[in-house]
Structure 1
Amino acid sequence: MNPRPSADGSIARARSPLAPSRPSSRGHAGSFLGNSGVNTPRTVGSTRASTAAFHLHASGGQKYFRSRRIRDVSTIDRPWTDHKDPSRKWHTVFPLIGIFIGLALAGLMTYQGYSSVINNSYCSVYEVDFSTQRELDPDVWTKEVQLVGDFAETTNTDENVFIKDGELWIKPTLQDADLINKNSVIDLTKQGICTSDAWFDCHAVTNTTNGTIVNPVKSGRINTRKGASIQYGRVEVVASLPEGDWMWPAIWLLPVDEKYGPWPASGEIDILESRGNNYSYPLGGNDMIGGTLHWGPTFDTDAWHRTNAAKKALHTTYTRTYHTFGLEWSEKYMFVYINSRLNQVLYVPFKSALWPQGHFEAVSENGTRIVDPWSQTGRPSTPFDQKFYLILNIAVGSTNGWWTDGVAGKPWVDASPVAKRDFWNARDQWYPTWQENGQMRIKSVKMWQQAGYQGCAAK
C-alpha cells in the first residue's frame, strides 16, 4: 500500500489496530520500524481491506480507530447534562404536601375521637359471680310470683330458678296437667305469694266448657328491686340464651317508682330481648338480639319503635356460649351493647326532650288532648332520669304481637279467646325443642352507679 501524504505533506503513519501504540522492546514487533529506525509504512497485502475498514477520516484528513462493537458515544443519553425544567420539582413537592396534610388530619381526627370518649366514674352497687353462690341473696333478689301477660306462670320454686354448676339457671317447665285438664283455679292472692298488686296478675281459671285454661307453662322471673337499683350508670350480665320454640328471654329494667305514671309513661329499658326459636324463624330466632326503650304517655302510645335496634350473630347464635349483655346510661345518652362497649346494639342520645320526638301533641284520648308528663323537668332524658332495677326472665308465648300469626307454624292466634289452650295442645311439637338447652344460664351480674347521683362521689 502506498503511503498517502497528510495535509502538511508528511507521510501519514498507519498501523494495525492490533499493533501496540508504541514500539515493542522486541526488534521485530514494531510494525512501522525499519532496520534504520526510521518510521516507514508497512505494506500488508492480504489484510489491506480489513485494515481499511477500521479507519475513518478524522478532521483534517487524519484517520482514527473506531470499534464497531462500541456504541457511538454521541448517541448515548446523558440526562444529567440536559437542561432541567424548574417546574418539575413540584411533581414531587405537591404529593408530599398532600401526604403531610393527610397524616395531620388523621392525627387530629384520632385525637378528637379519643378525647371525645366519655369515661364516667362509677361506684359498684352490686356484683355477683354465681360460681361462688349456692342460692340467690334474698336481700337483693326477689323471685316474682304472678300470672303475667304471656303464657307462663312465674314461680318462686327451685324448679324454675336455681343455681347449678356455678351458674344461675332460669328454666321453663310444663304446668301441672291436672290444672289444665280439669276445672281449676289459681289464686295467688289467696295463697299469699303474689308479688303483683294487679288482680289479673294473681288469678287464672280453667273452664273446660269454654276452653279457657290457666297458664300452660311455669317459668322464672327475678328482680333486684329490693336490693340494687341505679339512676344513670352501667349494667353487665354474662349469660347464655336458651334454645326452645316460643321462648322469650329478656334482660331489662323498670323504674323503682313510677314518677311519671303507669307503664310506659315512666319508661322501660330492654337491654336484651330474643327468641328461643332457631335461626330459621323469619323475624329472628336465637341468632338475633334486640334492645329497646319503651316510653309514651299511655299504653297505646308507646313509642318503642323510635328507639329500637337489633343485632344478628355472624354464622352462630347467642346460645351455648356466653356473652356480656351491657347497658351504659347517662343524662346525655344511653346505649346497649354486646361483649364490648364498641359493639353497640342500640344508641339513644338525649339531646332534646322526648315528648316532641314522639309526636304526642297530636294524640288525644277520649276526646281530650294528652298532657305532657315529662317536659316540666327540663331534662331531655326524662322519663329515663330516675332509679331503675334489673329483671331477668324467660317468658313463653303471648298474644301481644311478639310472635306473628301464621309464621313458622305458630300454633295459636293472638286474638283467639282460647290461645293458651291451642298452645298447650301443640306441646308435642314445641316441648321437645326445650329439652337439650332450654334454659338461660347466667354467670355473673354487675351494676354500677354513675358518680354524682345517688350518693356516689366522683373519684
Structure 2
Amino acid sequence: MSNYVSSKLSSQQLRFANENEDTEDSGALPEKRTHSRAPSKGNAAESPPLTPRTKFTFGSPGQPPIPPSASSLNTTFTPSHTPTGSLAVPHTNVHPFPEAVGGSTTHHRSGTLSSPPSQGELLQRTPRKSTSTGTGSRPNTAGEYGMSASRPASARFRETFALPRTRPLTMYSSVQNSSVKIQRERPRSTMLTDEKRDELQEVKKPWTEGKDPYMRISYFLTYGMIIFGILAGGVRCFFEWRKVPMMKGNLCPVMEEHFTSEEGVFGENGKFFREVDMSGFGNGEFEMTTTSPKNSYVRDGYLYITPTLTSDDIGEAAIEDGHVFNITDCTFNITQGLSYTAKDSTLLPLNISAVGIDREFDVKGYTKACSAVSNATSGAVINPVQSARLSTRRSASIRFGKVEVRAKIPTGDWLWPAIWMLPVDNVYGGWPMSGEIDIMEARGNGPKYATQGSNYVRGSLNWGPNGALNAAYKTYGWWSMRRGSYDEAFHTYSLEWDEDFIRIYVDSRLHHLLDIRVKKSFWELGEFPPMISQGSESAVLHNIWVNGSKAAPFDQNFYLILDVGVGGTNGWFPDAKEKPWYDGSQTAMGAFWRARHEWLPTWPTEVEKRSLVVDYVKMWQKC
C-alpha cells in the first residue's frame, strides 16, 4: 500500500485493508465481521468500521479469486468528485451473469453476488468528505459499495411504521399476529350423547303430517269477525251521520261585519252598542265598561276589546280611599238592568223589552251602575279595571239560525272573555227564566290553572224558573286543546240553533262544546221540585214555559254580546288557594286590587295578547 493512500485512510480503514490483503494472499474467504455504531474512543469524529463489498468472479474450484482488471484499478475519484462526501466505489461489471462463466460464486441472502474486496479496490476508494462540524457521516454500505442490504429498503421502511405485536389479553392466551384470523374448533358438547345429538338435528314438522280441519274453521272465524266488525262500524257511522241534525230550510243573513271601519261599528248607525256600567252585571265583576277608545276600537280590520287599569286615569291611591268616580255616558237608563245576570232578577218585570226606552229615573239603580266611592274604612273601592261590553241589541237579533264569530281570546289571570246571547224581550221573565246562550266562555289563566285555563273553551245554556234553580249544570260542555292554548291563535266559535237542537262548536262540528237534542220540553228536562221556599213562605212551582214551544225559553229572539270581564263573585273562578279573594266576602274587589302584584305581571304589555281580538261576526236567521 502506498504512502499516499495510507495517509488518506483512517487507522481502522488501514487495519481493515491489511486484513483483507492477508486474506487474499492465503486464498481463503474473509471472516464474518461485525461493526459497532459507537464511535472510537480515540477519535469521536471517526466513522464506524466499514464492511464494503464488491463483485468478484471466481475461477474453477480451487483457484484463487480473480481481482478486477488493471483498467478498473486505474479508475479513481478525487475528493471533489465524491458525491455527498461518501466513499465512492467504481463498479466493474465483469460478467453480470456469473452462471455463464461456470465458476462458483458466493450469494448474499438478498440475491446479490458478494465476494471479499481486494486491496487495490480499497485503494481506489476516496475518503469521505467531512461535515462542517468535522465529523463524517456513516457510509451507506448497501448503495455506495454496489451491494444490496440484507433486506430490501421497502421492507425495512414498512417495519419502521408497523404496528406493535398484540399483547395477550390474559396469561393463558398466546400472542398472535394482528393480521392472522384465529380459528378455533367449537368444543363438542359432553352433555349429549350421539343418539340425542342426532335426534336434535332432525327437525320435526308435525303440521305436514296432516291438516286439522278446526284450524281452517278458526281462520274463517277470525277473518270473518274482522270483516264483520269493519262493516258494522261503517254501518253505525253511517246511521250516526244520518242522525246528526242539520238546519232545515234556508238561512238568511242578518249581519256580517268584518270591521273595516270604526264608524260602521260604533257610529250612529253602527252595528255594536257600547254598554256603560260599573255595577258588576249581576256577577260581582270587578271591571267597569266604558266607551273609551282605549277599551274598544277597530284597527287593521280587527275589533279589540282591551282591559286597562283605572289607576292610569285617577291614580292608585284614589282607588282605595277618598275619591268619587262618576262614569261617563252611563247607559243604565237605556238597558234598565235587563242585561244583568243577577240571582234576584225574578224581581224584574215581565215582558220588558231589552232594547230599552227611557223610563222613570231609578236613583238607586243609577247610583250603583254609574258611580262609585272609595273608602278605606268600609273597604269600598272603585272598580280597578276598565273594559268594554259590546252588543247587537239595537241592530241584530235572531230566532233560530246560526252565529259565527272568529276570535282570539286574551291572556292574563282572572280575565273572563265571553261570546254569548241574551233575549231581546224577557217573555218568560228575568234571568234565567227567559234563557241565556253562552257560545264561548273562557278563563285567561294559563293552561296550568286547576279549573280549566286558557286551553279550555266552554259552552252552556242557562235556564230555570228562578236564579236559585238555574239548570245550567245539565246543559253545558267544553272542548280542550291538548297541545296549545286558545289564546295563541284565532278560532271560529259557532252556534247552530233550531227548534229541534242546539249545537255549539269550535272550528268544526266534530269539536262540539254542546249538542242538545230537544226531544222533550226544558221543564221536563229540568225535573224541578213542585214546591219552593222563599224565606218563611212556601209556594207551588208552576211551569213558566207552558205557553211556549218545547224549545222554550229558547224560542225567542236573542242578540249577541262580546265582552271581557275581570274576576267576579258568582263562582266562575272557584275559591282556591291561588285566588286572592273569596266570593262571599264584602270586600272581594278590594282584595283583588291589593293582590295586583300577583296577577298584573301575567297580563301582557302587548295589547294584541291582552285583548279579545275579533276577526269577523256573522249572523243568519232561519227563513
Task: Judge same fold: TM > 0.5, yes or no.
Answer: yes
**Kindly tell me: are residues 94 and 418 of structure 1, through their superposed partners in 2, closer, same or farther at Cα, counting changes over 3 Å?**
closer
CA displacement 1:241-285 (0-9 Å, x = unmatched): 100111011110000101100000000011111111111211011
**2:251: which partner in 1?**
122
**Kindly tell me: are residues 425 and 107 of structure 1, through their superposed partners in 2, closer, same or farther at Cα, counting changes over 3 Å?**
closer
1:354 CA displacement: 1.3
Most deviating of 204-213 and 318-327 = 204-213
CA displacement 1:34-92 (0-9 Å, x = unmatched): xxxxxxxxxxxxxxxxxxxxxxxxxxxxxxxxxxxxxxxxxxxx99xx9x999999889
1:161 equivalent to 2:290? Answer: no
**2:614: which partner in 1?**
442
% identical aligned pairs? 38
**Kindly tell me: are residues 356 and 370 of structure 1, through their superposed partners in 2, closer, same or farther at Cα, counting changes over 3 Å?**
same
Query: Aligned to 2:541, which of 370, 394, 402?
Result: 370
- Whether contact under 8 Å (2:321, 2:381) holds in the other structure is no
**Kindly tell me: are residues 94 and 417 of structure 1, through their superposed partners in 2, closer, same or farther at Cα, counting changes over 3 Å?**
closer
1:358 equivalent to 2:526? Answer: yes
1:227 CA displacement: 0.9
- Whether contact under 8 Å (1:186, 1:204) holds in the other structure is yes
Letter of the 1:141 counterpart: F
Query: Aligned to 2:335, which of 196, 205, 215?
Result: 196
Bigger share in strand: 1
Query: Aligned to 1:429, which of 598, 613, 617?
Result: 598
User: Separation in 2 of the partners of 1:89 and 1:279?
Assistant: 55
1:428 CA displacement: 2.3
**1:217: which partner in 2?**
385
Task: Name stretches of at least 5 consecutive residues in structure 2 with no aligned partner.
Answer: 1-207, 338-364
- Whether contact under 8 Å (1:247, 1:276) holds in the other structure is yes
Query: Aligned to 2:425, which of 254, 257, 279?
Result: 257
Letter of the 2:562 counterpart: L
Letter of the 1:150 counterpart: E
Letter of the 1:253 counterpart: M
User: Separation in 2 of the partners of 1:104 and 1:191?
Assistant: 65
User: Separation in 2 of the partners of 1:174 and 1:363?
Assistant: 46
**Kindly tell me: are residues 181 and 300 of structure 1, through their superposed partners in 2, closer, same or farther at Cα, counting changes over 3 Å?**
same
Letter of the 2:426 counterpart: E
1:141 equivalent to 2:280? Answer: no
- Whether contact under 8 Å (2:320, 2:380) holds in the other structure is no
Letter of the 1:287 counterpart: N
User: Separation in 2 of the partners of 1:191 and 1:115?
Assistant: 52
- Secondary structure in structure 1 of the residue aligned to 2:430: coil
- Whether contact under 8 Å (2:245, 2:501) holds in the other structure is no
1:115 CA displacement: 3.7
**2:572: which partner in 1?**
402
1:277 equivalent to 2:445? Answer: yes
**Kindly tell me: are residues 123 and 192 of structure 1, through their superposed partners in 2, closer, same or farther at Cα, counting changes over 3 Å?**
same
Most deviating of 169-178 and 143-152 = 169-178
Letter of the 1:440 counterpart: L
User: Separation in 1 of the partners of 2:234 and 2:491?
Assistant: 34
Query: Aligned to 2:319, which of 180, 192, 201?
Result: 180
**Kindly tell me: are residues 89 and 329 of structure 1, through their superposed partners in 2, closer, same or farther at Cα, counting changes over 3 Å?**
same
User: Separation in 2 of the partners of 1:142 and 1:420?
Assistant: 27
**Kindly tell me: are residues 104 and 187 of structure 1, through their superposed partners in 2, closer, same or farther at Cα, counting changes over 3 Å?**
same
User: Separation in 2 of the partners of 1:137 and 1:412?
Assistant: 35
Letter of the 1:396 counterpart: V
Within a 5 Å distance, the mapping from 1:27-426 to structure 2 comes to 105=232, 108-120=235-247, 121-130=250-259, 132-135=260-263, 136-138=265-267, 139=269, 140-147=271-278, 148=280, 149-175=284-310, 176-178=313-315, 179-188=318-327, 193-194=331-332, 195-198=334-337, 199=365, 200-366=368-534, 367-377=538-548, 379-408=549-578, 410-426=579-595
1:206 CA displacement: 1.7
User: Separation in 1 of the partners of 2:532 and 2:570?
Assistant: 23
User: Separation in 1 of the partners of 2:584 and 2:220?
Assistant: 74
User: Separation in 2 of the partners of 1:261 and 1:212?
Assistant: 32
TM-score when normalising by structure 2: 0.55
- Whether contact under 8 Å (2:326, 2:370) holds in the other structure is yes
User: Separation in 1 of the partners of 2:314 and 2:238?
Assistant: 64
**Kindly tell me: are residues 249 and 123 of structure 1, through their superposed partners in 2, closer, same or farther at Cα, counting changes over 3 Å?**
same
Most deviating of 88-97 and 204-213 = 88-97
User: Separation in 1 of the partners of 2:521 and 2:445?
Assistant: 37
Most deviating of 134-143 and 287-296 = 134-143
TM-score when normalising by structure 1: 0.73
- Secondary structure in structure 1 of the residue aligned to 2:432: coil
1:202 CA displacement: 3.1
- Secondary structure in structure 1 of the residue aligned to 2:529: helix
1:430 CA displacement: 1.4
User: Separation in 1 of the partners of 2:221 and 2:478?
Assistant: 47
Letter of the 2:542 counterpart: V
Letter of the 1:423 counterpart: F
User: Separation in 2 of the partners of 1:296 and 1:107?
Assistant: 40
- Secondary structure in structure 2 of the residue aligned to 1:253: strand
Letter of the 2:319 counterpart: I
Letter of the 2:261 counterpart: Q
- Whether contact under 8 Å (1:247, 1:394) holds in the other structure is yes
Letter of the 1:185 counterpart: V
**Kindly tell me: are residues 400 and 94 of structure 1, through their superposed partners in 2, closer, same or farther at Cα, counting changes over 3 Å?**
closer
**Kindly tell me: are residues 105 and 197 of structure 1, through their superposed partners in 2, closer, same or farther at Cα, counting changes over 3 Å?**
same
User: Separation in 1 of the partners of 2:555 and 2:449?
Assistant: 36
**Kindly tell me: are residues 106 and 180 of structure 1, through their superposed partners in 2, closer, same or farther at Cα, counting changes over 3 Å?**
closer
Q: Would you say how many aligned residue pairs link Structure 1 and Structure 2?
A: 368
User: Separation in 2 of the partners of 1:242 and 1:191?
Assistant: 26
1:384 CA displacement: 0.6
Bigger Rg, structure 1 or 2: 2
1:186 CA displacement: 3.7
Letter of the 1:119 counterpart: M
Task: Name stretches of at least 5 consecutive residues in structure 1 with no aligned partner.
Answer: 1-77, 451-455
Most deviating of 192-201 and 360-369 = 192-201
User: Separation in 2 of the partners of 1:411 and 1:247?
Assistant: 14
- Superposed CA RMSD: 2.8
User: Separation in 1 of the partners of 2:231 and 2:598?
Assistant: 63
- Whether contact under 8 Å (1:146, 1:196) holds in the other structure is no
